[in-house]
Structure 1
Amino acid sequence: MLTITGFSVEQVKDPFGILPGERYEFLLDIDVPEDDELHSEQGLYIRVVYTVGEERTGIVKYDIFERTTEKYLEFDLEDEELEAVDAFCREHWKEAGNE
């Protein structure tokens, strides 16, 4: 199971109105146990696009990257990890600096 150790969040403008509601981009620093196949000595972070709206609130997309190399990793989070990331984003999206 991953642990979120730090984060940043910002509101992303959608000039074309592709998605209803507001969009936010999270960068979540994560720690993964050494025995997990996702573990990397380089450190990891997850880039999450999160939407908040009347019809839908939740993760639109996420990508996992190695911290020092910025290498994209083709891994999917397990269901409970995805639920934990979604809950974290739901709790923290209001912390984005609105311009």
Structure 2
Amino acid sequence: MINYIIYVSFTDAAPDSITRLSTELAKYNIAGGIKADDGRGYFLPPGTFIYHGKETINEVRDAIHRLAETIQPGASVVATETTTISWTGLKEVPNPA
């Protein structure tokens, strides 16, 4: 499997565009959060997503761009293949009670 980080932004974004996109991408196991080695989860910055799959980087980029354009025209997408991810300052996903 290949690890991808994807960033999506919209020209003149409507207030709910990223939220709607996040909901749609979640249906395809494209997440707006990341899990640490200790099992704790963290929210990625708005418009940033992570995906593990076998598709090529161009297939991932193009599929997300097509979906984003159905949410709002004027989507920009950057996809990167990653081997190591490090972060700081991300908000932790609350642990459900």
Output the TM-score relative to the length of structure 2.
0.26
Higher strand share: 1
Structure with more relative contact order (C-alpha pairs < 8 Å, separation 6 or more): 2
Output the TM-score relative to the length of structure 1.
0.25
